[in-house]
Structure 1
Amino acid sequence: MPASLCGTWDIISNVNLEGYMIALGNPCLRKVALKLKLRKVIEQKGDQYIIKTSSTFRNYTVPFRVGQEFPEFTKGDCRCFLDCSLVAWEGNKLVCEQTGEKKNRGWAHWIEEDKLHLELYCEGEVCKQIFKKKVNE
């Protein structure tokens, strides 16, 4: 069984966010995004996961069930709607494949040692982020 992803996580490392944002087609937001300090809150309620990502600029919540396709709507940036997303466990990684306007797009979350790792990928660009669990958790 994979390690629990649940908890509150603060970003400590962010590699190639700019390349990823360019691949998404977000030139208007990439300079702002590079300066943000992200916090993730991951919850599990029964078979539903809820991933909340917050910053001083924008908050984003993604509720989903593993193995069930779901429409994903984003607002506040150049993207409007992804046809569907599908999240599945691949070994110890929670992996999301997103279909829609961009090819080879998605993300993967996993725990390594005591850190939460996130890879975001789109059209050949990969952004690698590492988060540390909030101290009082």
Structure 2
Amino acid sequence: MAKPNYSGVYHMVSQDKFDEYLAALDVNYALRKVVCLLKPSKHIEHDVNTGKMKIKTVTTFKNFDMDFTLGQEFTEDLGAVDGRKCQTTVDWEGDKLICVQRGEKQGRGWTHWLEGNILHLELRAQGVTAKQVFKKAE
């Protein structure tokens, strides 16, 4: 079965437990409150033939870029959230994208999956799971 193509622009429609997730990352209270008010968009370029991906999270506060090849470990700059770096690998698990981040926070990572024009993002750190839902722009 062919893997889904994640390319597109997605706008956030909801989030759940994001403040708790940021607290698990030791993000200070004031910054957490600002970040939780943001409604990010995700701009994704996905080359299904090479596995190269670019995910740009765009907000009015700060943007965050990830540029990687599926299955290959890379150093991720987490500066958009907490100014740290970690070793990251993103790869397929079925038709979901699974990210494992190795660094100072145990169990940190995320999962992306598509259901039609809806992009789901589940974020994990220190036993806390948050969820964001995005809708693809037409």
For the criterion TM > 0.5, the same-fold answer is yes
Aligned alpha-carbon RMSD (Å): 1.3
The size of the alignment, in residue pairs, is: 134
Query: Where do 5+ consecutive residues of structure 1 fail to align?
Result: none
- The match for 1:58 is 62
**TM-score using structure 1 length:** 0.92
Query: Where do 5+ consecutive residues of structure 2 fail to align?
Result: none
2:96 aligns with one of 87, 93, 114: 93
Query: Hey, what's the Cα distance between the residues in 1 that align with 2:13 and 2:21?
Result: 18
1:47 aligns with one of 29, 41, 51: 51
CA contact (8 A) 2:120 2:133 kept: yes
When residues 73 and 92 of structure 1 are mapped into structure 2, their CA distance, relative to the original with a 3 A threshold, is same
Query: Hey, what's the Cα distance between the residues in 2 that align with 1:80 and 1:19?
Result: 19
Mapping for residues 1-137 of structure 1, pairs under 5 Å: 1-27=2-28, 28-45=30-47, 46-75=50-79, 77-82=81-86, 84-135=87-138
% of aligned pairs identical?
40
When residues 50 and 34 of structure 1 are mapped into structure 2, their CA distance, relative to the original with a 3 A threshold, is same
Query: Hey, what's the Cα distance between the residues in 2 that align with 1:49 and 1:126?
Result: 24
Query: Hey, what's the Cα distance between the residues in 1 that align with 2:80 and 2:5?
Result: 30
Shift of residue 92, structure 1, vs aligned partner = 1.1
- What amino acid does structure 1 have at the position aligned with 2:93? E
